[in-house]
Chain A
Amino acid sequence: MTEVSLSAAVAPEPPVPLVEMRDVSIAFGGIKAVDGVSIDLHAGEVVGLLGHNGAGKSTLIKILSGAYAADHGEIRVNGEPVHIASPRDAKRCGIETIYQTLALADNVDAAANIFLGREKLTAWGTLDDHAMEAEARAVMGRLNPHFRRFKEPVKALSGGQRQSVAIARAIHFDARVLIMDEPTAALGPAETRQVGELVKQLKQEGIGIFLISHDIHDVFDLADRIHVMKNGKLVGTAKVSDVTQDEVLGMIILGKCPPGATPGPGAMA
């Protein structure tokens, strides 16, 4: 929290956000899942995205990760407008996603999952499995030092190990923006703490993180700011230091924007 206020003190002009989504909308069969939402994220910042199931937070984030194409709106990375039409485009912009489902191919091993879609090739154009395994061992060693099961399909791994593989895939390619969709939903307390440590560490490295969660405690522990969504609209934005957990619950449930927050279009009048 102190870093944010410090950087604000040093640079009175707010720096260009790492990622900015402006006035983004998407509809499925006439239902506006996301309706005119604008959010932003700075380098080294953790921003929580809160809302009920069906509030539109996962849909919004899938637009950023390239899984859905927005009907309307603009995405800027470092102030530059970018066109994200596929997961590949998002990755090219340095945006990596850890999906709630983990999105692992269960039948192949950890290295194959980490490099899926970005395989290392030999000079002959064939898969360089050994080089990939070596790098997989390095990145997994950082996340989960006891992990040894590099030769097994990931379906044989425990929930925490699978989570490590999904995280390894996201951070191995110099991500600048990391989207974590319910990263701790399937984890035990120890593993949840481990993910928390990792979030702090990545933040130190200057990576911007979107944290999607409906666990408000998690978000208050880790996030610097929050965006709250309801019925596809942005209720408001606040620094976690400026609002209480009860006020945020009011934003989530009622759409009521407390004085410490900047109201959005979805705020209750």
Chain B
Amino acid sequence: MAEPSALSSPPPRTEAPGDVPATTPAGQPSVDRSGIGDALRALELDTRLVGMIGALAVIWIGFDVLTGGAFLTPRNLWNLSVQAASVGVMATGMVLVIVTRNIDLSVGSILGFTGMVVGVLQARLLPELWGFDHPLTWAAAVAAGIAVGGMVGALQGAIVAYLGVSSFIVTLGGLLVWRGAAWWVTTGQTVAPMDGLFKRLGGGFEGAIGAGPSWLVGVAAIVLAVAALLLTRRRRAGFGFPVRPLWAEAVVILLVAAAIVGSVLVVNAYPLPLPVVRRMVEARGLSTDGPLPLIAHGFAIPVLIALAVGVAVTFLASRTRFGRYVFAIGGNPEAAELSGINTRRVLVMVFGLMGALCGLSACIATARLNAATNANGTLDELYVIAAAIIGGTSLAGGVGTIHGAMLGALVMQSLQSGMVLLGVDAPMQNIVVGVVLVAAVYIDTLYRKGVK
């Protein structure tokens, strides 16, 4: 939200002519036009987003110093992002669930269950139907995972919405039910290996798109971001609403572009391992005697999936009726009902979406493991909820952002990955993650009080 503009001093930047109030309305603090504060306000940056990026930077630099430069390497950052993808995908859905004043404790178990379904489908059922390594196997498996997850989620949502059982209880039951169901799919057997194309969803060197396509993705992302910013600006100006000053718009565009170009440079600076390159060269029938070429990983497919999900759910949350209703229900369920919103249907859709995203995450996790096990996703519910909460989603409902939750997932993964690099043992890792979660929520509470 933009801060109230500095009204007491002339003239308050680029307000449209009809919009400049003659007097300071009561309740709005008059702010001095001090240089930096004013410039930051003109940028209309989300202060809590800036704070989170700052915290992430501190964590990254801190670990880099502690590990003697082993943290901020293309290789570690690339792996970090791949490991965060599965939780990141689910965290986007968890934001919507928590915003409606609900919770979903079953996401890890849904992931386990749908992962088994996806695994059995591609490793046993589909090969019987159309043979191994059929080009459509991966797509059918993903579609099935999303569909099964969506149905499981919608079922739980229907129990919450129409039978009035609290979501805490329904999904606590779901945590046990779907973990048990995951075991029943194969009576506990692990299913492996996965389909060749499907495996790419999990990352690894087969699951990276390479340097050229990474640049294409980066350029496309910049073009889209700039187009979205400028379109919004034109629409606002067309209605005579206040818009950011041009310089601020340029700074925002530059920041966005720098972030995108930076991430392309990082993923393109992580070369494939030499044995892999040698095999690739041999596969083309070329000689491997001379110096081998450096081939970059580029973006990992699971990371691209997570980013695409992030953009899609952000769109859903902020640009559609469904998203508006999700937030309205979280802000005041009674008001939403009295406004004629079918709140029960919206809840079923929210839980259905959460389940579908678990199905997608199950594909990523199963592909990364190259095996479907019934323990896959154990404790993920805690990481997903923690990511959403660290990302600024309020358990009281009504407040939360998708990008915050994805950054939260990255923060959690960074802590874990950094501690692994430092050789911290697993019990200590859990202690640190637990303490950070509580501390993050406490800082957030202070921040919210400060904003009011």
Interface residues of A (CB under 8 A from B): 65-67, 86-88, 91, 97, 99, 101-108, 112, 116-119, 121, 125-127, 130-131, 133-134, 146-149, 151-153, 156, 158
Q: Tell me, in angstroms, the Cα distance from A66 to B28 when the chains sit together.
A: 38
Q: Which of B312-354 contact A (CB under 8 A)?
A: 315, 318-321, 323-324, 327-328, 330-332, 334-341
Q: How far is the CB of B233 from chain A (nearest CB, A)?
A: 11
In the bound assembly, the distance between CA atoms of A58 and B60 in angstroms comes to 58
Most chain A CB within a 10 A radius of its CB, from B320, B339, B341:
B339
Known: A130-B235, A133-B241. A116 touches B1 (CB 8 A): no
B236 at the interface (CB under 8 A from A): yes
B286 within 8 A of A: no
Q: Could you show 6 A-B contacts with beta carbons less than 8 Å apart?
A: A125-B320, A126-B319, A127-B318, A127-B319, A152-B1, A153-B1
B339 touches A87 (CB 8 A): yes
The residue from A116, A121, A149, A153 contacting B339, defined by CB atoms under 8 A apart: A116
Q: 1/0 per residue B25-68: CB within 8 Å of A?
A: 11110000000000000000000000000000000000000000
Given contacts A112-B328, A127-B324, contact A148 B336 (CB under 8 A): no
| Residue in chain B with minimal CB distance to A103 | B335
Which residues of B come within 8 Å of A, CB atoms?
Answer: 1-2, 4, 19, 21, 23, 25-28, 235-236, 238-239, 241, 315, 318-321, 323-324, 327-328, 330-332, 334-341, 398-399, 452
User: Contact partner of A107 among B241, B330, B334, CB < 8 A?
Assistant: B330
Q: Are B2 and A151 in contact (CB under 8 A)?
A: yes
How far, in angstroms, from A108 to B23 measured CA to CA in the complex?
A: 26
**Contact in complex: A105, B328 (CB < 8 Å):** yes
- Given A104-B335, A107-B331, 16 extra CB contacts under 8 A: A67-B338, A87-B338, A97-B338, A102-B335, A107-B398, A108-B328, A116-B328, A116-B339, A127-B318, A127-B320, A130-B236, A148-B19, A149-B25, A151-B2, A153-B1, A158-B27
**Given contact pairs A130-B241, A133-B241, A146-B25, A119 touches B321 in the complex (Cβ within 8 A):** yes
Tell me the complex Cα distance, A65–B28, Å: 36
Q: How far is the CB of B402 from chain A (nearest CB, A)?
A: 16
Q: Which residue of A lies closest to B452 (CB)?
A: A156
Nearest Cβ in chain B — how far from A125, in angstroms? 8
Task: Pick the residue among B1, B23, B28, B341 that contacts A151 (CB under 8 A).
Answer: B1
In the complex, what residues of B have CB within 8 A of residue A107's CB?
327, 330-331, 398-399
Taking a contact as CB atoms under 8 Å apart, the answer to whether A99 and B327 are in contact is no
* Residue contact B340 to A91, C-beta cutoff 8 Å: yes
Complex: A86 Cα to B335 Cα, angstroms: 13
Point out the residues of chain A lying under 8 angstroms from B321, CB to CB. Answer: 119, 121, 127
Complex Cα distance, B340 from A60, in Å, reads 18
Please, how many angstroms separate the alpha-carbon atoms of A156 and B25 in the complex?
14
